[in-house]
C-alpha cells in the first residue's frame, strides 16, 4: 500500500514491537493464502491493512533501535535485531503481493485453490448458526486448539474482521470464522459450527501434468518457507547454529523449487489457449520465495556468530504463538511412539516442527551430533532423549512440556 500519515518517534518497548511484528507477519502469511484459497476480496483487503500497520511498526522499531545505539558494542548487539525487523517487513510485503493477486483479479488456475487446503493443514470458512453449540462461548471455553488441534484465525462479524482472536473472544451467531487445523479436527468443528458435514474441494480434472507440477512446487515452497520462518525464530531463541543451518538448507531448497517451477510453468503455457491466466501463479511463486529469503535474514545473526540480543528472545517468548524446546524423558508417553500415534497436536495444541535425534551421528551436512529432522510427519518416531521444537499456544506449551517430561 502507499504510505499514508506521519510517524513520529515515541518511546516504545522494542520487545513489545518485535513481538507484535512477529505475530503480524505470521498472521499475514495465513491470511494472504486464505484470501487466495477463498477468492475473498475482504480477506485480501485486510491483508493490505495489516501490511500498512506493519510499515508503522517497523518504522517505530527502527527509531527505537537507533536511539538505543550509543557504542560499537551496541551496534554489534542490535544489528541482528535490525535484520529481524527488515525480515518481518519483507514477509509483510510478500503477503501484500499475494493479496493483490486476488484484489486485482490477476487469476489463478483452479488447481491452485484445490491444492492449497492440503498445504495449509485444512482451512475452511464456516458460518456459526444460531443453534450451534459454539455460539455464545469464548474460544477459551471451547479450548478448540487443545481439544481438536483447530485454531480460529479470523472472524468476520457484521462486515468487520476480527483478526487473531484470543481466549476471551466470544463466538456469535452469524459469525464467519476461518478455521485451520488437521482434517479430523476440522470435520468435527465444522459440524459443530454449521450443523453440516465438511466436504473438501475435489481437484479439477483435465489439468496438464506440467501445470500440476508447477502448482505442487508452489505448495511445497509455501510449506518450506513457513517452516523456515519458524526454525529461524527457534534458532534465535535458542541461539542454535544447527537450527540456523537448517534454515539455510530450506532456503536453498526453495530456490531450487523456484527454478523448477519456472520450467514447468513455461511448458504448461505452451499447451494453454490463454497462458496469461498463469500470471497469478507466477506472482504467487515469487512472493512465496521471498518469505524463505526473509527467514534467512532472521537467522543471519546466529549464522555470523552474533549472539541474539536478550530483547529478541523475550519478544519471541511473548508472541501469541510461542516456540518451546523439550526433551523426551524415559517416563514420557511420547517415548517409543510416533507423532501421529501420540496425537501431540490434538492432545496439546502444539505442532512439532523439528526433532533432534538423541543418538550421535553425522547429518547430511557433516556436522557431528544428533541429526535434525525438520517438518516431521505423523509417522516420525519419537525416542528417549530426542529434543523437540514445537510451536503453539502458551497453555498448550505447558501441556506439551508435561507430556514430554513424563
Q: What is the mean pLDDT of residues 91-108?
A: 88
Q: Which of 30-34, 153-157, 279-283, 385-389 has the highest mean pLDDT?
A: 385-389
pLDDT for 235? 85
Q: Give the three-state DSSP class for 377.
A: coil
Does the structure show a pLDDT above 60 at 137?
yes
Q: Which domains does the chain have, with CATH numbers?
A: 14-109+207-314 (1.20.58.220), 121-194 (3.30.70.1450), 321-405 (3.30.70.1450)
Q: Between these two residues, 124 and 320, which has the higher pLDDT value?
A: 124
Does the structure show a pLDDT above 50 at 362?
no
Q: What is the mean pLDDT of residues 227-249?
A: 85
Backbone angles phi, psi at 181, to 5 degrees: 170, -170
Does the structure show a pLDDT above 50 at 365?
no
User: For the segment 200-220, what is each residue's pLDDT rounded down to a tens digit?
Assistant: 766 545 456 777 777 777 777
Contact in structure between 308 and 237 (CB atoms under 8 Å): yes
pLDDT for 348? 81
% of the chain residues with pLDDT over 70: 87
Contact in structure between 387 and 369 (CB atoms under 8 Å): no
User: For the segment 267-300, what is each residue's pLDDT rounded down to a tens digit?
Assistant: 888 777 777 778 888 888 899 899 999 999 888 8
CA-based torsion, 143, 144, 149, 152: positive or negative: negative
The per-residue DSSP string of 293-353 comes to HHHHHHHHHHHTTPPPPHHHHHHHHHSSSEEEEEE--TT-TTTTEEHHHHTHHHHHS-EEE
pLDDT for 189? 93
Predicted structure pTM score: 0.72
CB atoms within 10 A of CB 301: 26
pLDDT for 115? 58
CA distance 372 to 375: 10
- Per residue, the 3-state secondary structure of 176-198, as one string, reads EEEEEECHHHHHHHHHHHHCCCC
Q: In terms of Cα–Cα distance, which of 336, 365, 354 is closest to 390?
A: 354
CB environment 108-145: b (16+ within 10 A), e (fewer): bbebbbbbbbebbbbbbbbebbeebebbeeebeebbbb
Q: How confident is the model at residue 350 (pLDDT cuts 50, 70, 90)?
A: confident
pLDDT for 231? 87
Does the structure show a pLDDT above 50 at 55?
yes
Amino acid at each position: 500500500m502507499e504510505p499514508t500519515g506521519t510517524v513520529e518517534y515515541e518511546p516504545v518497548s522494542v520487545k513489545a514491537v518485535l513481538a507484535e511484528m512477529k505475530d503480524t507477519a505470521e498472521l499475514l502469511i495465513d491470511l494472504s493464502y486464505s484470501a487466495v484459497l477463498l477468492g475473498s476480496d475482504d480477506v485480501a483487503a485486510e491483508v493490505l491493512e495489516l501490511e500498512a500497520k506493519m510499515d508503522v511498526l517497523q518504522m517505530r522499531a527502527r527509531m527505537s533501535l537507533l536511539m538505543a545505539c550509543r557504542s560499537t558494542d551496541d551496534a554489534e548487539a542490535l544489528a541482528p535485531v535490525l535484520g529481524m525487523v527488515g525480515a518481518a517487513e519483507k514477509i509483510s510485503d510478500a503477503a501484500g503481493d499475494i493479496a493483490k493477486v486476488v484484489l486485482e483479479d490477476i487469476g489463478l488456475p483452479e488447481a491452485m485453490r484445490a491444492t492449497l487446503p492440503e498445504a495449509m493443514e485444512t482451512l475452511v470458512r464456516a458460518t456459526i448458526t444460531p443453534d450451534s453449540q459454539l455460539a455464545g462461548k469464548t474460544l477459551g471455553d471451547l479450548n478448540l486448539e487443545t481439544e481438536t488441534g483447530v485454531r480460529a484465525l479470523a472472524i468476520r462479524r457484521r462486515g468487520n474482521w476480527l483478526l487473531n482472536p484470543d481466549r476471551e473472544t466470544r463466538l456469535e451467531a452469524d459469525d464467519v470464522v476461518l478455521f485451520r487445523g488437521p482434517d479430523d479436527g476440522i470435520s468435527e468443528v465444522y459440524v459443530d459450527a454449521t450443523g453440516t458435514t465438511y466436504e473438501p474441494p475435489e481437484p479439477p480434472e483435465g489439468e496438464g501434468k506440467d501445470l500440476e507440477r508447477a502448482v505442487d512446487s508452489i505448495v511445497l515452497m509455501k510449506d518450506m518457507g513457513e517452516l523456515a520462518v519458524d526454525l529461524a525464530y527457534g534458532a534465535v531463541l535458542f541461539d542454535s547454529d544447527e537450527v540456523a543451518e537448517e534454515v539455510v538448507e530450506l532456503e536453498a531448497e526453495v530456490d531450487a523449487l523456484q527454478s523448477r517451477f519456472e520450467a514447468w510453468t513455461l511448458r504448461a503455457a505452451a499447451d494453454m489457449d490463454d497462458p496469461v491466466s498463469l500470471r497469478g501463479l507466477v506472482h504467487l511463486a515469487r512472493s512465496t520465495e521471498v518469505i524463505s529469503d526473509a527467514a534467512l535474514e532472521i537467522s543471519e545473526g546466529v549464522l555470523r556468530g552474533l549472539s541474539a540480543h536478550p530483547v529478541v528472545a523475550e519478544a519471541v517468548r511473548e508472541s501469541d504463538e510461542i516456540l518451546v524446546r523439550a526433551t523426551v524423558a524415559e517416563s514420557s508417553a511420547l517415548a517409543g511412539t510416533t507423532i501421529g500415534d501420540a496425537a501431540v497436536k490434538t492432545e496439546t495444541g502444539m505442532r512439532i516442527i523439528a526433532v533432534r535425534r538423541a543418538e550421535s551421528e553425522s547429518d547430511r551436512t557433516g556436522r557431528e551430533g544428533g541429526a535434525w529432522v525438520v517438518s516431521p510427519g505423523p509417522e516420525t518416531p519419537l525416542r528417549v532423549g530426542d529434543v523437540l521444537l514445537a510451536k503453539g499456544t502458551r497453555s498448550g506449551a505447558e501441556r506439551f512440556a508435561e507430556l514430554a517430561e513424563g
